[in-house]
Amino acid sequence: MATIDIDGVRKRFGNVDVLHGVDLTIADGEFVVLVGPSGCGKSTLLRLIAGLEDISRGAIRIDGERVNDLAPRARDIAMVFQSYALYPHMSVERNMDYSLRLRKTPAERAREAVEGAAGKLGIDRLLQRKPRTLSGGQRQRVAMGRAIVRTPKAFLFDEPLSNLDARLREQMRGEIKKMHQDLGATSIYVTHDQIEAMTLADRIVAMNEGLVQQIGPPRELYEHPTNLFVAGFIGSPAMNFIDATYRREGQNAFLVVGEKRLALDERDVADGTPVTLGLRAEDIAIDADPEDPGAIEATVELVEPLGLGTIVHVQALGTHIKALSLAVVEHRVGSRIWIRPHPEKFHVFEEATGRRLERKAQFAAELPA
């Protein structure tokens, strides 16, 4: 197991800058998830760590050793590919012990390692089969088994679950988490699925357009997204964004949305600044008291029952807003209701820069250390 230091890493493909300087330190045994939309550079960063691409500038250190010029096989890392990349002409057992045979591991030890890993993953009966006779989920397990038999310094996962159906993905997600708890291995996991990121990560690295947007524990990214991108990317259903203007009159600060005024705590920004108000769907109560000054009139556009709760799409404040209620909601489309966003849960972002505007009073306390 090892620490991984990524120090000012840049990557150019021809004339295109894919990574604009990434700094990240991964602790021994940590599970870090790189998340972002396609093309954000997360896979490239993973391939740079693996050694499958050359680093244009900066340095990557594994356990303190600079690996920029080391071939992948000298870095002692294991990788699970999105396509699994199993060797089709080798049996499951040969797939799993290939790396051990290349390292001239004694046959007895190699067999023990393979059987141990196969037992853990529940593929011990498949050892003599060829990959093409396996289902997607079984192939995925073989790919994981191939990685763990080696006890490498770190595991790299490149969207390992995206070729599985939803049910299997959920199950494998749990197994990967359990495996990480058992092995305690340093892991870097790339995904575009924010649910995978939230459930698996010790820390999430949210990336966009070759830049790290925010690094932190899943809850921190969810509750204190540092900018509009992270706010919009993390969370499902996605955060509601409403154009507003920040106003301050004496001691009272409020947001103006159309005709409506929404009271909030003071922010460190000039009076009259255009801002974007972010509201998570679960922070909006439906069926509010019309007399409540925070209540907003809304028209129901769509009702999506989830089983667990209901997503109600409404037209309000001149835009479309989604509210999540854990209750069974039986409003008819077109009916008028009152919604009330929780003022403590307002996320306010400066429109021009997209950066988060913290509450003035708690500004210092809430900043991540």
Give dist(CA 52, CA 75) in Å, integer: 11
Q: Which is closer to another protein, CB of 88 or CB of 293?
A: 88
Residues 203, 216 contacting (CB under 8 angstroms): yes
Q: How far is the CB of 181 from another protein (least distance, A)?
A: 24
Residue with tokens 């870090």: 32
Give dist(CA 48, CA 53) in Å, integer: 5
Q: Which is closer to another protein, CB of 72 or CB of 354?
A: 72
Residues 194, 218 contacting (CB under 8 angstroms): no
Q: Which tokens belong to 61?
A: 């250190």
Q: Which is closer to another protein, CB of 127 or CB of 212?
A: 127
H or E stretch at 84: none
Parallel/antiparallel/unpaired status of strands 310-316 and 319-325: antiparallel
Per-residue DSSP letter, 104: T
Q: Which residues bind another protein (CB under 8 A)?
A: 50-52, 71-73, 77-79, 81, 83, 85-89, 98-99, 102-103, 146, 150
Q: How far is the CB of 84 from another protein (least distance, A)?
A: 8
Partners of 350 in the β-ladder: 275
CA 142-123-77 angle, to 5 degrees, is: 35
Q: Which is closer to another protein, CB of 152 or CB of 341?
A: 152
Q: In which region does residue 200 sit, left (phi positive, over 0), alpha (psi from -120 to 50) or beta (all else)?
A: alpha
Q: How far is the CB of 100 from another protein (least distance, A)?
A: 9
Residues 120, 179 contacting (CB under 8 angstroms): yes
Give dist(CA 8, CA 48) in Å, integer: 12
Q: How far is the CB of 20 from another protein (least distance, A)?
A: 25
Q: Which is closer to another protein, CB of 20 or CB of 130?
A: 130
Q: How far is the CB of 189 from another protein (least distance, A)?
A: 16
Q: Which is closer to another protein, CB of 73 or CB of 345?
A: 73
Q: How far is the CB of 154 from another protein (least distance, A)?
A: 11
